[in-house]
Structure 1
Amino acid sequence: MRLVVGVSGGSGIPYAHGVLRALQAAGVETHLIVSSGAKRVMSAEGGGLSPADLTRYAAQVHEDRDLAASVASGSYRTDGMLIIPCSAGTLAKVAHGFADTLLPRAAHVTLKERRPLVVVVREDPLPRPTLQNLLAVHDAGATVMTASPGFYHAPQSVEELLHFVTARVLDQFGLDVPGFQRWGEDGA
């Protein structure tokens, strides 16, 4: 399996880190695009995550400025794309086909080729323009998710909350994450 992972400037870079680790553990070939906004958020959020912490889990890293990258073309086969976290600005670009950098271009290609696109927003409250953009990407074929962990599995740490979101996101691609407790299974 080959997936494109976009990381944009929304708060929540640890979600991207968890997804990338899980994809590598599952043997998925990942093509990573980290926006300049995401790099700024990493330094602002603290937590010790750097771009290198993300790139070490990717098979290939693409510069967001490189509109000639393989993933910018529909003829380059992938099994889909996810954007985690997806900022409101990146969401707007995807919703309206504004592909000025590689991340929204790869998302546009994913939609035009009718491949799965999962957009994970992590922003509240949601103003009307963002809600309209969420509906637009949904209507274009994307799956819209929020970075909202469940609590039925009685999490004991932030890591367990992150793990929940990672597992739900990768469910959208038919991938299982070890240790994920599903509702109605394993005593949940």
Structure 2
Amino acid sequence: MYNVWRSHQQMMVVLVDKMLKTQIVSCSAVANWLFSSQMSRDFTSFYVWEIMHGTIKKMNKQVAKLQKEVEEMKDRLEAAELKDKQGFDLDDEDDVPTEEMMERMEDTLENAQSEQKNLFLIIFQRFIIILTDHLAKCEADGRDYNTPWYKWVVERLQQVFLMHHEQVYKYINILESLMFTSDIDLHILEIFQQFCALRS
């Protein structure tokens, strides 16, 4: 897609959105693609981040929609059980879900939440990799790491944390134990710690 549409960035944004809607590609695949070497030239282009945030929002909407459906099913099931206990007959219009339907819906929600978690893990892992590579190259060459590119990428990382703070915070313990450990560069770890400090 990039080879064909690289000169028409808005078309890429629209096509990725359509491919996500029709589930031709997964949100994780889009995140991997945006951080790939093929996209490195355009990494600081606005359309890349429009695609990234659109992908995250789409994943978050899907999880929220499924959570709402599960809650509504539970409410209908509880209402039906209450009617049954009180001796009322159930109407056809009550639309009572079966236990099997409930289990399937909960499994679907669980899968979506797992995909959401994986999406954030991929995004933060890729940020850590590219920032670590930059810092290592600058140190090896004896150059100042604090370049405009570095500042821009750090700001994008902060933007992901802040724009999607509610969802990211659900996985804060996983991120802390798997990604943002004491092994990574202090400059990167500091960004994560600043985000955590906002919630304390």
TM-score between the two structures when normalised by the length of structure 1 = 0.22
Of the two structures, which has the highest relative contact order with CA contacts closer than 8 Å and spacing of 6 or more? 1
Higher share of residues assigned helix: 2
Higher share of residues assigned strand: 1
Between structure 1 and structure 2, the one with the greater Rg is 2
